[in-house]
Chains A and B, each alone.
Chain A
Amino acid sequence: EAGVAQSPRYKIIEKRQSVAFWCNPISGHATLYWYQQILGQGPKLLIQFQNNGVVDDSQLPKDRFSAERLKGVDSTLKIQPAKLEDSAVYLCASSSDGAQPQHFGDGTRLSIL
């Protein structure tokens, strides 16, 4: 079974620029999560999808972050405009349903100059 795919692996941008991350969950997984992991800390949930609907986006900075999951499969997370404090690893995870363990991708390491 193919794992959670994320791209790109690394991204370097200047502050105030925009950036987008892509995630392809494990086939058949209805639940998809985006996390932000700042260096030396645990992951923090940004947004959770169930199929193509949002379950929880309470910690998503909606003035600059947006996410979508068209057709309930792939998902994109966008930051516009980026700030220095957005430097982090952005992790995507999926699970078959909310009660099952999450499977994580390799993450995208974002550096803001």
Chain B
Amino acid sequence: AQTVTQSQPEMSVQEAETVTLSCTYDTSESDYYLFWYKQPPSRQMILVIRQEAYKQQNATENRFSVNFQKAAKSFSLKISDSQLGDAAMYFCAYPPPGSSNTGKLIFGQGTTLQVKP
């Protein structure tokens, strides 16, 4: 089955604290990309971070980092020093088997992140 699971429908974090959003997926491919996208309320979806599956080093973009566990098919997003502007819906996405280079993505159900001042 081509699935990506975000088990946390909602999360909240205190401003300046750290939060981790979880994502698991299912693929038999060995080389692929994984993505986290952010969708603020009524605003466009933007790329947060991308991980290449063949790289063992976890990707980092400023306050955003991933914990990629290939064998466990787990791809969590860590947000450090949370800011009010981080409040949004976060989607994990990956290419279904056979689509690694086509651009086709399957998105999870999303996690709504609330940041408390």
Contact = CB atoms under 8 A, between A and B. Distances in A.
Nearest to B49: A101
Interface in A64-110: 91, 93, 95, 97-107
A112 interface: no
Interface residues of B, number: 22
Size class of the A contact interface (CB-based, 8 Å): 20 to 34
A60 interface: no
A103 B46 CA distance: 7
A19 interface: no
B89 to A, nearest CB: 9
B47 A101 contact: yes
Interface string A44-58: 110010000001100
Interface of B: 33, 35, 37, 43-47, 50, 91, 93, 99, 101-110
Interface of A: 3, 31, 33, 40-45, 48, 55-56, 91, 93, 95, 97-107
